[in-house]
């Protein structure tokens, strides 16, 4: 699957360039293969993401357990991945990846999802370099249920905007 980014005319309308830069950078960040599941039309709910993760894990660990409430969805994802992931790719994953869920038998997918969403906001800020524009763009686009709120997103950016990490990355970018 090759993701395509379509920009609606409403995005380019009367918005300042810095807001457009924030939105486009955020969307491009979420197009990374490891974050693509966060798009609302791909896997919209955290529990379903967990089922997909366990289903993918079953490619290399067939006995990987799923919580009872995710058993059916996990089985469907496992079957899908068996059909679309080549045996060579599965073997590569098995050879190079540590056993899944070794450290935590119940990975916190909600926490990962939130962290990834906030990281995409940070990437947007790095590109637009304007906290006010980033906050306006965030305020204009609520993410929906089970995802960080507008207030959480803005608070995270305000705090990160004055962090050593932000200053170090902006210095590297020039």
pLDDT for 52: 92
Task: Determine how many CB atoms are found less than 10 A away from the CB of residue 16.
Answer: 14
Asked if 158 and 118 touch (Cβ cutoff 8 Å), the reply is no
Mean pLDDT along residues 131-135: 97
Side-chain half-sphere exposure of 11, counting CA atoms within 13 A = 16
Residue for token digits 């068996």? 82
Question: Max CA-CA distance within the chain?
Answer: 54
In this prediction, residue 39 carries a pLDDT of 78
Q: Which of 60-64, 121-125, 138-142, 143-147 has the lowest mean pLDDT?
A: 143-147
Residue 115: CB atoms within 10 A of its CB come to: 13
């Amino acid at each position: 699957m090759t993701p395509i980014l379509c920009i609606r005319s409403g995005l380019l309308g009367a918005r300042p360039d810095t807001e457009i830069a924030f939105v486009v950078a955020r969307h491009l960040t979420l197009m990374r293969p490891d974050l693509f599941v966060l798009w609302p039309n791909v896997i919209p709910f955290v529990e379903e993401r967990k089922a997909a993760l366990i289903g993918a894990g079953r490619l290399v660990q067939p006995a990987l357990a799923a919580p009872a409430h995710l058993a059916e969805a996990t089985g469907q994802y496992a079957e899908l991945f068996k059909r679309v992931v080549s045996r060579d790719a599965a073997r590569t994953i098995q050879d190079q990846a540590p056993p899944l869920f070794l450290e935590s038998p119940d990975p916190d997918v909600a926490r990962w999802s939130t962290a990834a969403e906030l990281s995409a906001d940070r990437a947007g800020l790095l590109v637009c370099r304007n906290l006010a524009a980033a906050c306006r763009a965030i305020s204009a686009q609520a993410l929906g249920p089970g995802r960080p709120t507008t207030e959480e997103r803005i608070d995270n950016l305000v705090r990160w905007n004055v962090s050593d990490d932000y200053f170090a990355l902006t210095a590297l970018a020039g």
